[in-house]
Chains A and B, each alone.
Chain A
Amino acid sequence: MRVPYSWLGEFVENLPAPDVVAERLTMSGLEVESIERPPEMPAELLVVARIEEKRPHPNADRLSLCTVFDGEMIREIVCGAQNMEAGDHVVLAKPGARMAGGMTIKKSKIRGAVSEGMLCSSAEIGAWGDSPGIIILAESAEPGAAAYDVLGLDDCVFELGITPNRGDCLSIRGVAREVAAVCRLSTSPMLMPSLGSPGATPVRVSELESKGDSPFEVEVEERDGCLAYRGIVVDGLRIGSSPDWMQRRLAACGLRPINNIVDVTNYVLFELGQPLHAFDTALLAGNRISARSAGALREFITLDDETRELEPSDIVICDGSGPVALGGVMGGASTAVSDSTTSIFLEAALFDSARIRSTARRLGLLSDSSYRFERGVDSAMTETALLRAAALIAKTGGGVIRGGVARAGELPVHGPVVRLRPERIERVLGSPVPTGDALAALCRLGIKAGETGGAIEARVPTHRPDIEAEIDLIEEVARIHGYEKFTPEMPVFSMHAAETPPVRSFAQRLRSELAAIGLSEIVALSFCSAEMNRACPGLHTAEARALKLRNPLRADEGEMRKSLLPGLLDALRTNCRNGVRTVDLFCSGRTMAADHGSAEAVEPVEIDALAALICGPRRGREPGLVGEASFADLKAVLSRVARSAGIREGFELVPTDKRPELHPRAAADIRFSGESVGSVGQLHPLLAETLELNQHTYVFEIDSRKLVAYAPRHPGLKQVARFPSSARDVSFLASEELLAGDIVATIDGLQEPLVEMVEIFDDYRGRGVEAGNKALGITVVYRSGKGTLTEEEVSAVHARVVAAVTRRLNISVRG
């Protein structure tokens, strides 16, 4: 909220300097986000001047020559505006002055006539108002006086960040109360602002009381939505602009002046925090106004001429014919004040926060009024604001208040009584606050508090609906006493072991391992397009549906990712575009989908996934990059992952053609202990083509939680062999379809006690091997734990092994 410093001064005496006020407010919880200061220009460069003579420019029809007196000397000025006459008091920028647009005024010749400065319009000096002509000041402005003072531009404006609990500070009066409390200023009796221009004699609330019956009758049908309703009539009005001082204040608060009625309702809203609405009496049907639920009413046209659909629980204000306002949110078009208005019915009501909020949110109508009702309006100000606004309108519009205030519903006069135990203060804050200090702190905030039976009893005033319980009072005491008074003290706790979830420590370990072998980590947003979710179903079950966002930021981020691959592919594309040739990446994070339930009852399943991608030429033993990434390169990364998870024997890879994102002939299911933990393979050529990526892109995605769940224990020590081993090589001739792993598995399956290890050393296709076939070179290492094997023993077992493999796999030994 924007708060002009000078306005605060009307409520608090002896206001400290702006910087002091700002610092104190910030340190007590009302954050001053910025201070807007008057333009930094020497005051003598922008002054009031009187036009002595005005005559046409001899060489230009649109320009005129003015002779002005600036308080010290006579100057000749060339001026483009025509709205001034001799005798007018105007704003003169002398040579050297910097204008709002950044231009610096110089003495110059314009079309042959000397000009010793410039007469200013509002925009040129950053003042309120949008009139294109130059500013004409009141005659009371003395030539030579600083124009900023005269225009009220010498004010500072605070930009306050008001937290949602402090609705009471959404008014100048509320902020002033807080300033008085935190600056230790006297607050009592709090003055009401003057009726006239700032500085005039203050008028007390009691003096505003009007007499007699109101010409209108008001009633509240929906007590849950509208606690109280007040109205008053002002007659004999003439619509015009509001006084300068009011316009200036409104402009400083960021409001655009409209007319003397709307400006007053806004002015009092900002001043006292009570939203007000003016209806044109002539446009109201009958003389009975009621506040009720919309019920069966279907729609309503608000004063911005928009048709709004109503819900039965919306609060509407009705006259004899139907709804005339959306209670606490916005008035209606049919009864709005216009240039021909002569009489108004002015409303001040107290609406329920939650009801107003739900209506305002649903309709997207966030008005100054609904904003305040949502955060709580002070019932003590409701009638005061009504009377003050009526008086101001009558005064500025030349009208009279007709009759008294029409009333329905009771305005609460105070909030609950809350007990505060001094020992509880110490319990929460860590050190005691003397009861006297606590009482004084509450008192400064306008909370009546006294000591009874060793505890403080506080009567919560109507302006602090946020205070409901003891803890709320403790906070008030703490912040007024000063947070800095509670010195840091380390907690004393019994000793215990701090724990990290296994998946987290696994991911942490893995990050440094994968970085060590050349992969870089990316962090991708969890949003995904529907297309990419379809293309990359990730680790979720086949039935899993993507979670759809109801309010995505962008159309292509409408779902939550089911896989980490879209993020990795996006990163690959970005870096390829940047000319990076080798892109090896990994990513860990959550993927999510709805695995069960109907569309109505979404049961989300989140998976801690880990994915990697490699693409582009590799670095070999010689300098320079060669070739392309291969399945084996990514398998090396996968082995590292297995090793990190403590899985010694590695994963089992089973070919699969079921993954839509992977090449059907270059993909595998990753299994551990028979359970699938993820998949690995070459990116599907169609997907690579669609995304304009290199075909030789290899990816895997695994479920970290499943890996970590195995928590493999050490299998126990195997005897370290004492006798030498003996190795035999053999080359098998097989169809290309045969997996090398099948040979290894077959030999393992023989359970020959002398076989220590089987290794694949060659996969050859080409000259000497028939097309469609391949030669697989295998080394079998034999060893006995009982003694050195003889040549004959090794040959015998090797022959058995080779025979078994050829027989079982129906392959032959290459001659």
Chain B
Amino acid sequence: MTAGTVTLASIERELEDIERDAVVRAAEAADAAALEAVRVGVLGKKGSLTKVLRGLAGLDGGERPQAGQVANRVKKAVDEALAVRREAIGTARLAARLGGPQVDVTLPASGQPTGHVHPLSVVMDELCGIFLSLGFSIAEGPEVEDDFHNFEALNIPADHPARDMQDTFFIEGGRLLRTHTSPVQVRTMKGTEPPLMIVAPGAVYRHDDDVTHSPMFHQIEGLMVGRGVTFRNLKAVLTEFLARIFGPDLAVKFRPSYFPFTEPSAEVDIGCVMCRGTGSGDAGADAGRCKVCKGTGWLEILGCGMVHPKVFADVGYDPEVYTGFAFGIGVERIAMLKLRIDDIRLFYGHDMRFLAQF
């Protein structure tokens, strides 16, 4: 056999050499580029295997199928070697990319930490939201009031003992700080024709300062006036309101009371939210009585009543045509019960250790 002579045996030998060589080089390829070079060197247009395949034309017809079979087997083996190596290189490369340092996920967030909305605002918004959902609009009025709107128009004339119910701050020059949000009732009625339903949230002031009284605190006044508004309606609206605040199975009772601008008037008591109306507290402390309701099982929660005909007459509503109800809610009181706060002064003490809890 001379060089250049194409025989079946020589082709088979050559193919086996190619295979051996390609498999070794593929396994040694360091990266994707090197591996691609191996592929091109064997399987590319000018690759060694391609060249051999072109040479098959020189064989005689009988030998060609056999040589072809060998060539196909070799090509398959080379492809396989390349694939194995390609995957290995890929895996190694990914491993290298994922091998960096562990991120310390426990380090703090960047930027300022979140602040806090004041608990009184949270509760105030919740209460107003309930009334809005019931169809009440929100009204506002001045905090520096005159005697007429704060007292006279609410059936509390000068030298009436009902003024003792509200210790007043007076401003030099004749004004005063409103002692309740009720003047907003008067202002709203004077500017609007019935029917109307409003709530008036805001700051009010009383000359008082201790664990349960702050000289400034917040109220929500409510007023509904129209034809055929009744005491039963008042009970329904307030019962619904209280159930939404304190839960659906709340015990509620209406107890006769006195406010000069409503008649009949009522105080509303709810089953104590702490002891669930049982009146009993931790054994041992306070003789086993609940500290929040002092063992009574009930908590005074708000005052209300049917708008007094004199108040209607003063704002020009005909008391024979219209009836209405009004109520006043202490926001701090509700916030203290809901959030288990036992000293009203915490609201106004600005202590972040308190504020950050809300």
Contacts and interface: CB of A to CB of B under 8 A. Distances in A.
Interface of A: 26-29, 31, 163-166, 353-355, 357-358, 361, 374-375, 427-431, 469, 471-472, 474-475, 478-479, 483-484, 486-491, 493-494, 496, 498-501, 503-504, 508, 511-512, 514-527, 547-553, 557, 560, 567, 570-571, 574-575, 578, 580, 582-586, 589-590, 592, 594, 599-602, 604, 606, 618-623
Given A429-B231, A527-B216, A498 B136 contact: yes
B308 A575 contact: no
B355 A521 contact: yes
B254 to A, nearest CB: 5
Interface residues of B, number: 87
A526 B169 CA distance: 12
7 nearest A-B pairs in the assembled complex, by CB-CB distance: A518-B112, A430-B230, A430-B232, A29-B256, A602-B173, A571-B350, A163-B258
A493 B173 contact: no
A518 B161 contact: no
Contacts of B175: 547, 602, 604
B171 interface: yes
Given A517-B112, A560-B144, A522 B118 contact: yes
Contacts of A622: 110
B110 A620 contact: yes
B207 A553 contact: yes
B121 A521 contact: yes
A604 B141 CA distance: 13
B232 A486 contact: yes
B235 to A, nearest CB: 4
Contact of B237 (A427, A483, A491): A491
A123 B347 CA distance: 42
Contacts of A519: 115
B226 interface: yes
Contacts of A496: 135
A493 B117 contact: no
Given A430-B231, A518-B114, A522-B350, A499 B172 contact: no
Contact of B161 (A374, A514, A623): A374
Given A428-B323, A516-B114, A578-B352, A504 B235 contact: no
Nearest to A580: B352
Contacts of A483: 254-256, 264, 266
A102 B49 CA distance: 112
Interface string B132-156: 1001111110111000000000000
A520 B352 contact: yes
A575 B352 contact: yes
B142 A606 contact: yes
A29 B355 contact: no
A604 B144 contact: yes
Nearest to A621: B110
A493 B195 CA distance: 9
B23 interface: no
A590 B203 contact: yes
For A491, A514, A623, the residue with the greatest tally of chain B CB atoms inside 10 Å of its CB is A491
Contacts, number: 263
B162 A474 contact: no
Given A29-B256, A575-B350, A428 B173 contact: no
A424 to B, nearest CB: 9
B230 A429 contact: yes
Contacts of B135: 493, 496, 498
Given A515-B117, A575-B352, A602-B175, A623 B264 contact: no
A557 B122 CA distance: 27
Contacts of B169: 549-552
A526 B161 contact: no
Interface in B266-306: 266-267, 306
A599 B128 CA distance: 38
B353 interface: yes
A600 B264 contact: no
B100 interface: no
Given A428-B306, A518-B112, A578-B351, A501 B140 contact: yes
B267 to A, nearest CB: 8
A601 B174 CA distance: 8
B240 to A, nearest CB: 7
B185 interface: no
Contact of A523 (B114, B118, B144, B232): B118
7 contacts: A499-B138, A516-B115, A520-B117, A522-B118, A522-B350, A604-B144, A623-B108
Nearest to A518: B112
A409 to B, nearest CB: 21
B111 interface: yes
B233 to A, nearest CB: 4
Contacts of A618: 112
Nearest to B308: A471
A329 B87 CA distance: 107
Contacts of A571: 350
B120 interface: yes
A514 B256 contact: no
Interface in B154-171: 158-162, 164-165, 169-171
A469 B323 CA distance: 16
Given A493-B197, A498-B136, A500-B138, 11 more contacts: A27-B256, A163-B258, A471-B263, A491-B237, A493-B226, A520-B118, A520-B352, A521-B115, A527-B215, A578-B351, A602-B174
B116 interface: yes
Contact of A486 (B174, B177, B235, B265): B235
Contact of B256 (A427, A475, A508): A475
B117 A164 contact: no
Interface string B295-337: 0000000000010110000000000000100000000000000
B349 to A, nearest CB: 7
Interface string B184-214: 0000000000010100000101010100001
